[in-house]
Structure 1
Amino acid sequence: MNRLMLLLLCCLPLLAAARTPVTEVVVLSTLHAMHDDVPAYSQEVLAASVRRLAPDALCIEVRPDRFAARAPEPNKIEYPGAIYPLIEAQGYRAYPMEPAEPDYGRILAPYKSANEAFGEAQPQQAEAFAAHMDAMYAVLRTYWTSPARVNDATTDAQMRAKHALQEALVGDGEREGWEAWNRQFMAVVERAVAENPGKRIVVLAGVEHGYWLRERLARRDGLRLLDTAALLSAGP
């Protein structure tokens, strides 16, 4: 084999990689019912943030059956209020991340039972932790003066610490349930990445999930995780 042929063979994997389009992923944290309590990140601002990120597809934090029916969401008010109308208007391809039954109940069961047992066995700790969460969110609502701040490293650090403490207090059921729920989200995101090569996917997830998803997606091959806070802070 001559040197030119050998060189071409060595370069083929690099050429193939260069031709493979990279899918971009952006995790956009949402506030559910708190959108009505944070003027800088109202439902209207959330919709504008999604448009600014220019997605080709959305991963959304609802069940497939509820999305198909465009059902009202008692806590996740941003879906009927902002996201569903945006999907209809913009024609985004949508991927519901929550599982249908019976997986929905199966994944949540150990999480729910562990937290109920914690409240019964350690009522003082449970009350103290609830007060801690109320105080944390009270401070964050004053910190969240822009969509970028809801999606920045400071907010992610608060949520990471909150869940570390919650898992330490409640135990294995809490930890296993939280991991299983987030892994379910990740599986859907990975499917969206596989089905949309070279496109941009925006993952809409409650603010407590942001740190978990960003950490895992940053380690995934075959996609480029973008800095949400930087994108939302950039000039027009």
Structure 2
Amino acid sequence: MNTSPRTRLAVLGTLSDLHYQPITFDLNCLRALVADLAPDLLCAEITREAWEGGNLSTAALEVREALAPVVAATDIVLVPVLSTLKQYADFTPATGWHRDLVRTFGRLLQWGQREADRPEAVNGALFGAFCHTLCALTELMWTAEDRAAWEAQNRALAENIVQTVRRDIGRRVLVAVQCQRKHWLDARLRRQADVELVDYWEL
């Protein structure tokens, strides 16, 4: 029987620029949600160099306009876990029918995000399956090198999260990442014996 302590962790999928839109899960909702959850540690999509240097200009919208202000006003500790600056949209092919298909999949994803509307729906099983399917189709349109780079970035991100958990065993950890990463991270973090993966509302 494994009696080792486990760290309670939740992955919160976010919506990038769509948080600007008139949906329930807007920036105000994201700020309030994180403040109410009040995790001990908040893993966020920003590099260590950018966070420690106070340079939020290259960070994801969610970090700049929601997570950083909440951290500044609370006792939550932000842990930067991104290894490189490249975001999901940056892998879009520059030209050709692959680019056109990726843009079509992107519009479908944004439609699904707007329909999901609420954070619990965006982070639920139905939207998760929809997002995962569109992401898989999108990534098929990338070059093999870009797919490998995305996979490597996610592996590094997951490793940074695991190292954070192991440095501070027993803390409540919230990982806030754009929804395209959520299904990937959920699958990897669920395999960690020292992580108790829960939905964000159970944190």
Length, aligned pairs only: 201
- Higher-Rg structure is 1
Structure 1 residue 149 corresponds to structure 2 residue 133:
no
What residue in structure 2 maps to residue 59 of structure 1?
43
What residue in structure 1 maps to residue 108 of structure 2?
135
Structure 1 residue 36 corresponds to structure 2 residue 20:
yes
What residue in structure 1 maps to residue 173 of structure 2?
201
Q: What letter matches 1:45 in structure 2?
A: C
- Structure 1 residue 153 displacement after superposition: 1.5
The secondary structure found in structure 2 opposite 1:170 is: coil
Distance 2:128 2:108 in 1: 16
TM-score, scaled relative to structure 1? 0.76
CA gap 1:215/1:45 in 2 versus in 1, 3 angstroms? same
Distance 1:218 1:38 in 2: 33
Larger fraction in helix? 1
Counting only pairs closer than 5 Å after superposition, residues 2-17 of structure 1 correspond to structure 2 as 14=1, 17=2
Contact 1:53 1:231 in 2 (8 A): no
Unaligned runs of 5+ in 2: none
Counting only pairs closer than 5 Å after superposition, residues 17-96 of structure 1 correspond to structure 2 as 17-18=2-3, 20-73=4-57, 76-96=60-80
- Structure 1 residue 151 displacement after superposition: 0.9
Unaligned runs of 5+ in 1: 1-13
Deviations 1:158-216 (A, max 9, x none): 22212221232324223212211111110110011101111111001111111111111
Aligned-residue identity in percent: 24
The secondary structure found in structure 2 opposite 1:41 is: coil
CA gap 1:125/1:79 in 2 versus in 1, 3 angstroms? closer
Structure 1 residue 187 corresponds to structure 2 residue 171:
no
